[in-house]
Amino acid sequence: MSGHSKWANIRVKKTAQDARRGKIFTRHARLIEIVTRSGGGDPDTNAALRAAIDNAKADSVPNTNIERAVKKGSGETKGDAMAEVIYAATGAGSVAYLIECLTDNTNRTLANVKSILNKNGGKLAETGSVMWLFEQKGILTASGSKSMSEDEQLALIDMGAEDIELDGSGIAITTNRGALAKVRDHMKHMGYEVQSARLQYVPKQTIAIADLEIARGIMHLVEALEEDEDIAEVHTNAECSNEATASLEQGA
């Protein structure tokens, strides 16, 4: 069973970006604040909050940061309300970008996004003209010492898993949008350590990128966007060739 490993390839050097711990902590805190405001501060009754806290803990976010975000989302502490905003863009190679932002100042964020795009060969686009190229899927990663049997995989598929990848060191599962929580809970029940479970925008079709210069431009644009404090996730429909990816990883 394979297929959606594409989402890993799309994010060139994403692991290096995620090493920036402060940005990760901020992103998690803002997500927790938003889901608390919309569904309440009790993770037992707010499934989105429970998932957000689990993801934050998997990324080693301190409990004090989590508690502070819940209090802010619950209105116990003051501050400008966070909002989720999605911007769309296009770039070299006819590549499309969805830029997910968590911000308390949309004017500042939009200005920053425009500036980063202009400096890196991208252009802001109408959100609707790009959004249809993507669909929201549940992406779950897990580790575990035991192998997953065929019956266990079939049970997950019955729950809504659409793709299961086993590579010896971990498990990556793609689900339909509504099945993520059920699959996550079942994985925990089976004894796997769920490292991350979140909704992500996945391209319906990808654009193959073999040209090294275009691939390098995509990498630089994604990195520049993700360095901005207000930008939580950047998704593209680019799929770099193995040769281009290897060259970029070697710093060519």
| 101-137 pLDDT, tens digit each | 999 899 999 999 999 999 999 999 999 999 999 999 9
| 127-156 pLDDT, tens digit each | 999 999 999 999 998 886 667 888 989 999
Phi, psi of 231 (to 5 degrees): -95, 120
Reported as type and span, the H/E element at residue 35 is helix 21-39
- In order of their start, the domains of the chain are 18-74 (1.10.10.200), 82-133+204-249 (3.30.70.980), 135-203 (3.30.70.980)
How large is the average pLDDT for residues 23-28?
83
Q: What is the mean pLDDT of the chain?
A: 84
- Is residue 100 scored above 90 in pLDDT? yes
C-beta separation of 64 from 35 below 8 A: no
Written as six digits, the tokens of 148 are 């997953």
Task: Determine the residue type at 73.
Answer: G
How large is the average pLDDT for residues 94-104?
93
